[in-house]
Amino acid sequence: MSLKHLSPADAFALMNKGAILVDIREADEYRRENIPAAHHHALSTLGRHPPRSEGTVIFHCRSGNRTAANAAHLAASVPGAKAFVLEGGIEAWRDAGLPTRKDARQPLELMRQVQIGAGSLVAAGTVLGALVHPGFHALSGFVGLGLVFAGVTGFCGMAKLLARAPWNRVAAAAN
């Protein structure tokens, strides 16, 4: 099942008529930047905590890909409601000149932290393997296998470790 996509301008117009905007991104993404009128219901918890609406619901994520990929699940979470997807997500909303609320004091989103950490370890393993000892190439291989494992199973050990980092725990506790 696919949901009809709305432009930011059309979504804004429907919100002025009572539609509810639902942000399905994870809490760390939501804390960093969000649309002021949006209700936060992370995709990972949507089954346990669905948005309550019998009217019109517009779902959004960062770019629109997550909402499009999960359209059937999103539509099922609001039975009786007319459901839509915000085309292009919060990025398109911002690009259309519509308001967002940013908090640059919040840490980068957890997946971006994983990307930075994994990329840094792969680069270090490659450089050290070329300049110091070939055994350091194993570091790059280990990180690559970890990323494959995370993609196949949905469990990312690096994300679990980073979530416990002091800067992420302080940000989560503050909200």
Question: How many C-beta atoms lie closer than 10 Å to residue 81's C-beta?
Answer: 18
Active site positions, annotated: 61
Which residues on neighbouring strands pair with residue 56, listed in sequence order? 82
Q: Which residue has the tokens 């997550």?
A: 66
Residue 124, CA atoms < 13 Å, CB-side half-sphere? 9
Distance CA 32, CA 12 (A): 21
Ordered alpha helix ranges (H), 39-109: 65-69, 71-77, 89-95
Quickly count: other Cβ atoms within 10 Å of residue 166's Cβ.
8
Non-local (6+) Cβ contacts of 61 within 8 A are 23, 24, 25, 43, 67, 89, 90
